[in-house]
Amino acid sequence: MVVATEEMAVYCFDTLVAHYTGEQPHPPAFEDGNHPLFVTWKKVANGSEPRLRGCIGTLEPRQIVSGFKDYALTSALRDRRFPPIQSKELPTLECTVSILTDYEIAEDYLDWEVGKHGLIIDFTDPDYNIRRSATYLPEVAGHEGWTHAETIDSLMRKSGYQGTITESLRKKIKVTRYQSTLYTMHYGEYVAYLKKNRGAAPSISGVPAVNGFKPGH
């Protein structure tokens, strides 16, 4: 089974840095394959809890090299919930790469484990008779401290449903559960990786020193 790795997170940072410098990203140091994947950017400032800055991916298998390249930029620059990430934010960023595995149809909306399973819900909006769907990655419910019902209710709102949530409606939801492997890397770790493996850190205008040295020196 393929697992998320340090090199995949490095490639996402490489891709975002290349966007700001106008250069081509360094070739990936991992093998290609076909898997569902997500890229998540969070901002860590002054020792506070990491704050989401963008998260986009695909629930369908696709080539992971092109997938991570595409979604590294899409999640950083085109997640409609947030303004595009600016280069000056780089030192505060952490990147999490996720590869999704083990898709299963749940027996009902309670048939999954918090912290283990991600969820895809699919249901018919009773007010408009249209299909709605949404997903949360496995780490979301545990991070938020949600129960099973709270997670499902939040997913229903995320899907765009604005009506009354009832137990009977919850029982009509089709729930697909899945698992993931993930790897999280902070920008400082990315810079250290480049210094160790390539001999130089990225040089980006307007980006301050990281870990005691200026990028590019």
pLDDT of residue 214: 38
Does residue 216 belong to any structural domain of this protein? Answer: no
Cα dist from 7 to 4, 77, 110, 117, 138, whole Å: 8, 21, 36, 24, 21
pLDDT in tens for each of the 217 residues of the chain?
789 999 999 999 999 999 999 999 999 999 999 999 999 999 998 878 899 999 999 999 999 999 999 999 999 999 999 999 999 999 999 999 999 999 999 999 999 999 999 999 999 999 999 999 999 999 999 999 999 999 999 999 999 999 999 999 999 999 999 999 999 999 999 999 999 999 988 878 777 655 443 343 3
pLDDT for 48 equals 83
User: Do 187 and 151 belong to one domain?
Assistant: no
Q: Which two tokens stand for residue 146?
A: 């949600």
CATH code assigned at 27: 3.30.700.20
77 with 133, same domain? no
Are 90 and 157 contained in the same domain? no
Beta-bridge mates of residue 184: 96
Q: Is 67 inside a domain boundary?
A: yes
Cβ neighbours for 59, distance < 8 A, ≥ 6 positions apart: 36, 100, 120, 135
Same domain, 16 and 61: yes
Q: Answer yes or no: do 117 and 68 share one domain.
A: no
pLDDT at 209: 54
Assigned domain for 155 exists: yes
Is the CB of residue 134 less than 8 Å from the CB of residue 158? yes
Long-range pairs of 196-203 with CB within 8 A, sequence gap ≥ 24: 198/26, 202/17, 202/21, 203/21
150 falls within a domain: yes
- In terms of DSSP bridges, do strands 118-125 and 174-186 run parallel, antiparallel, or are they unpaired? antiparallel
Domain shared by 63 and 130, yes or no = no
212 assigned to some structural domain? no
Structure tokens at 65: 């090299």
Range of the domain at 136: 110-172
Same domain, yes or no: 116 and 163 = yes
Residue 208 is assigned to a structural domain of this protein: no
Structure tokens at 143: 């991070």
Whether residue 204 lies inside any domain: the answer is no
Quote the CA–CA distance of 193 and 7 in Å, as a whole number: 9
Same domain (yes/no): 90, 134: no
Distance CA 122, CA 110 (A): 14
Q: Please indicate, yes or no, whether residues 87 and 188 belong to a single structural domain of this protein.
A: yes
Do residue 97 and residue 117 come from a single domain? no
pLDDT at 216: 37
Q: What's residue 208's pLDDT?
A: 67
Same domain, 38 and 94: yes
Contact 63, 45 (CB under 8 A): no
Total domain count for the chain?
2
User: Is 211 a member of any domain?
Assistant: no
User: What is the pLDDT at residue 45?
Assistant: 84
d(CA 147, CA 142): 9
